[in-house]
């Protein structure tokens, strides 16, 4: 995520240096992130603010109050279309539902740097990761550590998120390579620590033996670890 942040903001500042920054007015960048609960997006916003201050750029954040809410993000795009910032950093909450909103930004000729999740449209650039490859490598590493056999549970992210879809696809690719790995169950942790903790607690009630947990991000892994602690050792 750190590389995504740096590359994204560098790309936008390059655009502004040839456009809005030639004006006497302070240029404005609208930054769209998915939620306030994922530490990765919190870090993204902090980095945007820091770079904005150092470059003399005004940063405006647009974050759904309800995590990953499509309707809220669509409404925020409508507001940005009225306000007309000099550029937009856009992390879509859904790579299908937000296509029309991106088209509106394109039609308004507002430069966009797309980050994290790809979708159709015209962009200055796209900055992201290969989540299919990330999922494949993560699963292979775990399966190797298990000696190629064992019983596991999988904690997924948000169902509609392209990052989750691609990482789970990568898991399934790796599972096909390790037939002695048995998946006991899949559960949606929504990329959130508390949700993952609840999912893991249910897994522990259902299955007597769990050899490992495959988690789609670090926050959910922390939730799984919290569920594995003795009750007296858990955070209140």
Q: What is the pLDDT of residue 208?
A: 95
Instruction: With respect to residue 80, please indicate whether it lies within any of the assigned structural domains.
Output: yes
Query: What pTM was computed for the model?
Result: 0.79
Domain-terminating residue out of 74, 95, 128: 128
Instruction: Give the number of domains in the chain.
Output: 2
Indicate if 18 and 111 belong to the same structural domain.
yes
What is the secondary structure of 87-119 as a DSSP string? Answer: EEEE--S-TTTTHHHHHHHHHTT--EEEEES--
For 33-87, write each residue's pLDDT tens digit.
Answer: 999 988 888 988 998 898 888 888 899 999 999 988 999 999 999 999 999 999 9
The C-alpha atoms of residue 76 and residue 114 are separated, in whole angstroms, by 16
Domain hosting 27: range is 2-128
Tell me, what CATH number does 180's domain have?
3.40.50.2300
Q: What is the pLDDT of residue 22?
A: 44
User: What order do you get walking across the sheet with 58-62 strand by strand?
Assistant: 58-62, 28-32, 87-90, 112-116, 125-128
Q: What is the pLDDT of residue 217?
A: 93
The C-alpha atoms of residue 36 and residue 64 are separated, in whole angstroms, by 8
Instruction: With respect to residue 236, please indicate whether it lies within any of the assigned structural domains.
Output: no
Indicate if 95 and 172 belong to the same structural domain.
no
Instruction: With respect to residue 24, please indicate whether it lies within any of the assigned structural domains.
Output: yes
pLDDT band (50, 70, 90) for residue 112: very high
For 126-152, write each residue's pLDDT tens digit.
Answer: 988 899 999 999 999 999 999 999 999
Domain-terminating residue out of 66, 96, 128: 128
The helix/strand/coil state of 29 is strand
Indicate if 76 and 143 belong to the same structural domain.
no
Domain-terminating residue out of 128, 149, 182: 128
Indicate if 46 and 154 belong to the same structural domain.
no
Q: What is the pLDDT of residue 177?
A: 98
Indicate if 119 and 17 belong to the same structural domain.
yes
Task: Compare 102 and 20 and report the one with higher pLDDT.
Answer: 102
Residue 152 is encoded by which pair of tokens?
Answer: 């596991």
Indicate if 27 and 106 belong to the same structural domain.
yes
For 194-214, write each residue's pLDDT tens digit.
Answer: 999 999 999 999 999 999 999
The helix/strand/coil state of 32 is strand
């Amino acid at each position: 995520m750190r590389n995504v942040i740096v590359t994204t903001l560098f790309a936008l500042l390059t655009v502004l240096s040839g456009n809005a920054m030639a004006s006497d007015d302070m240029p404005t960048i609208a930054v769209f992130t998915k939620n306030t609960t994922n530490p990765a997006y919190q870090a993204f916003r902090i980095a945007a603010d820091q770079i904005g201050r150092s470059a003399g750029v005004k940063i405006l954040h647009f974050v759904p109050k309800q995590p990953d809410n499509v309707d809220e993000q669509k409404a925020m795009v409508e507001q940005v279309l009225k306000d007309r910032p000099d550029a937009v950093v856009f992390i879509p909450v859904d790579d299908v539902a937000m296509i029309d909103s991106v088209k509106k930004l394109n039609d308004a000729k507002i430069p966009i740097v797309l980050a994290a999740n790809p979708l159709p449209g015209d962009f200055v650039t796209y900055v992201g990761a290969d989540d299919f490859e990330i999922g494949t490598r993560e699963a292979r590493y775990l399966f190797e550590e298990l000696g190629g056999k064992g019983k596991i549970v999988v904690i997924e992210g948000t169902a509609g998120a392209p990052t989750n879809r691609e990482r789970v696809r990568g898991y399934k690719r790796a599972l096909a390579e390790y037939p002695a790995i048995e998946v006991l169950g899949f559960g949606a942790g929504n990329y959130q620590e508390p949700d993952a903790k609840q999912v893991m607690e249910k897994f522990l009630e259902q299955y007597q033996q769990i050899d490992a947990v495959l988690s789609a991000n670090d926050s959910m892994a922390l939730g799984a670890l919290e569920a594995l602690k003795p009750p007296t050792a858990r955070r209140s």
